[in-house]
Amino acid sequence: MCPVPEEETNGHRNGNGAANGDRSDYQAFKTSQASRPQSSNPYAPVQDFLSNVSNFKIIESTLREGEQFANAFFDTETKIKIAKALDEFGVDYIELTSPAASEQSRRDCEAIAKLGLRAKTLTHVRCNMSDAKLAVETGVDGVDVVIGTSSHLMEHSHGKDMTYIKKTAIEVIEYVKSQGKEIRFSSEDSFRSDLVDLLSLYSAVDKIGVNRVGIADTVGCATPRQVYDLVRTLRGVVSCDIETHFHNDTGCAIANAYCALEAGATHIDTSVIGIGERNGITPLGGLMARMIVADRDYVKSKYKLEKLKEIEDLVAEAVEINVPFNNPITGFCAFTHKAGIHAKAILNNPSTYEIITPSDFGMSRYVHFASRLTGWNAIKSRAEQLGLGMTDAQIKAVTVKIKALADIRPLAIDDADSIIRNFHFNLSADKERDLIELSHEEKKAFAQKEMELKNEAERSIDHNADGQAEVPSAKKTKTDIVS
């Protein structure tokens, strides 16, 4: 692993520990050009008067929804660490498990409510007066009440009809408001609920002054188009804020959250790494990845993005999982480039193959150059990092050797560096060094692969296709044969 300047990475590395975060085969580097256009944003959505893509709030639910994750067990100390980390990141609200869930849950609500965080604290309770009173007594800033409105839940969960739901919702909302607390009312399983029932219920609670109404895709069945249509319709019915909660069973949570904001929603529920019931909900990092492309200035002005990896590592450790390799922003491979044609373009201008700037999140980009897919531009960059001056023809020749060896065994960065260094030494040495230590069988295979690569290059019609992964032929040097 070559050293990365501290100012470039803010002390972070992509990945999550030695198991999937080892960078032995990669090169981190700076680039001379900006990785995104500096003028108007060509990726910004088409704006209309309802869109809140550039004006949204996050309700961070790791300490509520996240506690429902299969592996989750958060003691009070861990909850406080997570709450403080989320507050430092800049989330607007932190949602906590219902104090009615257990005595310890009640104590935890009280402890976090007393921390004096900038983020408002909420707790999520059933739509009944007993839960609401208990929630108010914990000292949280707001109460989120919820009740199932689909036929599935009315029949098989709480057993109440819409008349009861509306009457109870109004009573609970009026009580919480009388105690000086924020109040959100949400249906559960909104996308499998009757639309007329939903709109009638939301209209009733809006009229009595609820702060937010919530839409919940409890089973992850909604599509972006369905989300847009429902939120847009609801926006025409209520004047209060609209909160949205999307489960990720079908992989649509981030897209659904984005469409909800386009349609006029104001608040998005998230959890760190998306943990929650079953496959979880909209991940905080994934939402940040989507939103920074839409409005970089707004996102960067509001959230300390460089804290994201620290928060994800904290939660991942607490629930004993690894951050996925393809996790947006912080995954092991998020800003890693391997193919030769990609590496050349990235070296010239990162925006060619990156829509997000890694340094915005305190991350680094990497190029994997110790592989059969490497191109000579990546090897040239590495040689320059090593302080070795070579002509382009010489770089192309050593690239052939690296690719040939990569065809017969996995390479580490030290293997590629050894080949580059020894090739450079042999250019002017009286006595040549072996490029790398190989067994007898490996030497035979290496020679065969090198010959195949050279023959392939000679058959190429365009000997100037330097941007491709395959390397043009080079003049034979005295280091062509590995002894």
Please indicate, yes or no, if residue 430 is contained in any of the structural domains.
Answer: yes
With cut-offs at 50, 70 and 90, classify the pLDDT of residue 354. confident
Instruction: Let me know whether 110 and 225 are in one domain.
Output: yes
How confident is residue 438, by pLDDT bands cut at 50, 70 and 90?
confident
In sequence order, what DSSP letters do the residues of 423-467 get, joined into one string?
HHHHTT-SSPPPSS---HHHHHHHHHHHHHHHHHHHH-S-TT-TT
At residue 402, the pLDDT reads: 83
Quote the CA–CA distance of 255 and 240 in Å, as a whole number.
23
In angstroms, the CA 134 to CA 102 distance is 11
Task: Say if residue 373 is exposed, middle or buried (CB neighbours under 10 Å; 0-12, 13-18, 19+).
Answer: middle
Q: Does residue 424 share a domain with residue 292? A: no
Residue from 245, 247, 337, 342 carrying the catalytic annotation? 342
Range of the domain at 194: 57-303
The pLDDT of residue 22: 55
Task: Compute the average pLDDT of residues 305-328.
Answer: 95
Asked whether residue 289 falls in the same domain as residue 410, the answer is no
Q: Which of 423, 416, 50 is nearest to 231 (CA)?
A: 50
* 338 belongs to a structural domain: no
d(CA 290, CA 310): 19
If we measure between CA atoms, which residue out of 280, 362, 290, 366 comes closest to residue 316?
280
Residue 281 lies in a domain: yes
pLDDT tens-place string over residues 47-63: 678 899 999 999 999 99
- The string of DSSP letters for 134-178 reads HHHHTT-SEEEEEEE-SHHHHHHTS---HHHHHHHHHHHHHHHHH
DSSP run (H or E) holding 226: helix 224-235
Q: Which residues of 440-451 are buried (b: 16+ CB within 10 A; e: fewer)?
A: eeebebbeebbe
Closest alpha carbon to 98 in 73, 64, 60:
64
Residue, of 403 and 480, whose pLDDT is higher: 403
Residue 9: band (very low, low, confident or very high) from pLDDT cuts 50, 70, 90: very low
Which amino acid makes up residue 383?
A
Region 424-440: what's the mean pLDDT?
Answer: 86
Could you tell me if 198 and 294 lie in one domain?
yes
Amino acid at 318: A
**pLDDT mean across residues, the chain:** 84
The DSSP string of 24-91 is TTEEE---SS-SS-SSS-TTPPPP-TT--TTS-EEEE-TTTGGGGSTT----HHHHHHHHHHHHHHT-
Q: Which of 266, 288, 303 is the last residue before a domain boundary?
A: 303
Q: Which range has the worst mean pLDDT, 64-73, 84-93, 405-414? A: 405-414
Q: Determine the Cα–Cα distance for residues 161 and 467; give it in Å rounded to an integer.
A: 66
SS3 186: strand
Question: Among the three residues 282, 303, 324, which one is the final residue of a domain in this structure?
Answer: 303
Look at residue 7 in the predicted model and tell me its pLDDT. Answer: 35
By CB atoms closer than 10 A (0-12, 13-18, 19+), residue 468 is middle
Q: Which among 284, 211, 223 has a CA at the least distance from the CA of 249?
A: 223
* Same domain (yes/no): 119, 260: yes
pLDDT digits 0-9 by tens, 92-133 = 999 999 999 999 999 999 999 999 999 999 999 999 999 999
For residue 207, what is the domain's CATH number?
3.20.20.70
Q: Which of 5-19, 57-71, 246-260, 307-321 has the lowest mean pLDDT?
A: 5-19
Q: How far apart are CA 437 and CA 419, in angstroms?
A: 10
295 pLDDT tier (thresholds 50, 70, 90)? very high
Domain co-membership, 394 together with 289: no
In a domain, 27, yes or no: no
For 106, list phi and psi in degrees, rounded to 5.
-65, -45
Q: Are strands 93-96 and 57-60 parallel, antiparallel or unpaired?
A: parallel
Q: Is the pLDDT of residue 462 over 50?
A: no
| pLDDT tens-digit readout, 205-259 | 999 999 999 999 999 999 999 999 999 999 999 999 999 999 999 999 999 999 9
- The answer to whether residue 339 scores a pLDDT higher than 90 is no
- Say how many C-beta atoms besides its own lie within 10 A of residue 342's C-beta: 22
Q: Which two tokens stand for residue 42?
A: 């060509």
CA gap 366, 377 in Å, rounded: 14
Supply the pLDDT for residue 343. Answer: 67
Instruction: Identify the DSSP state of 120.
Output: E
Asked if residue 438 belongs to a domain, the reply is yes
Of 265, 288, 303, the position where a domain reaches its end is 303
Is the separation of the CB atoms in 288 and 274 below 8 Å? Answer: no
Q: Which of these ranges, 27-31, 41-45, 208-212, has the smallest mean pLDDT?
A: 27-31
The answer as to whether 14 is a domain residue is no
Length of the chain: 483
**Are residue 269 and residue 175 in the same domain, yes or no?**
yes
Output the pLDDT for position 350.
Answer: 77
pLDDT at 6: 34
Number of H helices, E strands in the chain: 18, 11
Query: How does DSSP classify residue 243?
Result: E
> Looking at the 3D structure of the chain, how many domains does it have?
2
Token pair recorded at residue 425: 């030494």
- Whether 326 maps to a domain, the answer reads no
Q: List the end-to-end C-alpha distance of the chain, in Å, as a whole number.
A: 27
Lowest-confidence region among 17-21, 27-31, 164-168, 366-370:
17-21
Between strands 142-148 and 182-188, the pairing is parallel
> Residue 24: pLDDT band by 50, 70, 90 thresholds?
low
pLDDT of residue 198: 95
Residue 271 forms part of a structural domain: yes
Are residue 297 and residue 386 in the same domain, yes or no?
no
**What pLDDT is stored for residue 151 in this prediction?**
78
CB-based burial of residue 434 (10 Å sphere; 0-12 exposed, 13-18 middle, 19+ buried)? middle
Joined together, the tokens standing for residue 72 give 């989750």
What per-residue confidence (pLDDT) applies to 11?
A: 38
Mean pLDDT value across residues 477-483 = 31
User: ∠ at Cα 466 (465, 470), nearest 5°?
Assistant: 85
pLDDT of residue 255: 98
Indicate whether 298 and 383 sit together in one domain: no
Question: Do 278 and 194 belong to one domain?
Answer: yes
> Which of the two residues, 267 and 33, has the higher pLDDT score?
267
Q: Are residues 248 and 126 in the same domain?
A: yes
Smallest Cα–Cα separation from 12: which of 368, 285, 386, 320? 285
Are residues 380 and 289 part of one domain? no
Threshold 0.85, pTM exceeds: no
Catalytic residue flag (residue 342) = yes
pLDDT per residue over 387-417, tens digit each? 889 999 998 888 888 888 888 888 777 788 8
The answer to whether residue 268 scores a pLDDT higher than 90 is yes
